[in-house]
Structure 1
């Protein structure tokens, strides 16, 4: 399978047509929804690679549902479908981080490349987000350790190396990350 996809459109015929095109290209359609609320619930459950969603739907429109799905990281990418190409919706789509925008009627020759690119860019963006989160955590831990070393140096009259060695020994003896030990020193100093 090439990717896991949720299709969202209030028109059952449109969903059926899109499903047929996608399955012919070996994509796995993991769910279908008729409105934005159903779309959010399906994405919470399946965490698809891609959501293909109509903008104009009852209850909760595609733009609002897309904003929620992307903000909560329930899907890697979203392609919006619309019968109209109005500037306001295009601007909102760009602002929310939408990966693609297709005008109905959908043609297989335009859908397949758009799906492929959207899944690839969504996957790459998610990899970058994970890397950024890891780096941010490392930086935060490093700052915490440095602050704890400073506190230990002052309180126990130790050199920087000695303070760090103390943190490492405590970490090993207590079998917990050095950042957790450092956090205890910093919290107790507040």
Structure 2
């Protein structure tokens, strides 16, 4: 995916001035937000929305379909993480969190919620692109591993079905293991089905017959 086509949603969970009553912290938050947006703009990313961390977030994410989610958070971002879990439950996306919270438990909670990269303090506009590039590469690698793991589990499950169906044919028809396999294979070819689908049908029939 080319950098300049990357569609980004920014989620801001930093308190407003009237909420935190801390001018220094507010100024730091503003500086971080400006550095982030400047870095994104300079790198050519497409910021399609800046959203508050509220109950409408899952619906907004589903509507906008961003390629990446960026979270701005000072500390204790549990609420936004809960919304993120819901918003990305059915379709995972790379998520980068920029925060001032260096607490280990906060980082672990963020990673468990699906955050790809957890960046603490020191945000400079020139760092934004390298951070997002690494996060995107890591996300793609994780997705590849998850896909491979899912495919491996599926193959093992299918193999177990075939072995059980072979056992049924061997017991029912007095066939050898090789003969049972060849019968399964022939049925699959004749019906244009996967071997595991034929095996499942044989097992279902066996269950019905008792």
Category of TM-score, reference length = shorter chain: 0.7 to 0.9
1:7 aligns with 2:10: yes
> Runs of 5+ in structure 2 lacking a partner?
17-29
Once residues 121 and 86 of structure 1 are traced to their aligned partners in structure 2, the CA distance between those partners, rounded to angstroms, is 22
1:32 to 37, 50, 56: 50
Residues 47 and 74, structure 1, Cα contact 8 Å, conserved in 2: no
Question: Could you say which residue in structure 1 is the equivalent of 2:168?
Answer: 151
Question: Could you say which residue in structure 1 is the equivalent of 2:112?
Answer: 95
1:21 to 35, 39, 43: 39
Alignment length, in residue pairs?
A: 187
Residues 74 and 101, structure 2, Cα contact 8 Å, conserved in 1: no
Once residues 30 and 151 of structure 1 are traced to their aligned partners in structure 2, the CA distance between those partners, rounded to angstroms, is 58
Secondary structure, aligned partner of 1:85: coil
Cα drift, residue 174 of structure 1: 1.5
Residues 56 and 62, structure 1, Cα contact 8 Å, conserved in 2: no
> Runs of 5+ in structure 1 lacking a partner?
none
**Taking structure 1 as the reference length, what is the TM-score of the superposition?**
0.80
Secondary structure, aligned partner of 1:79: strand
TM-aligned CA distance change 1:155 to 1:31, over 3 Å: farther
TM-aligned CA distance change 1:142 to 1:31, over 3 Å: farther
Taking only aligned residues, the RMSD between alpha carbons, in angstroms, comes to: 2.9
TM-aligned CA distance change 1:10 to 1:97, over 3 Å: closer
Higher relative contact order at CA 8 Å, sep ≥6: structure 1 or structure 2?
2
Look at both structures and tell me which one has the larger radius of gyration over its CA atoms: 2
Cα drift, residue 69 of structure 1: 4.3
Secondary structure, aligned partner of 1:32: strand
Secondary structure, aligned partner of 1:52: strand
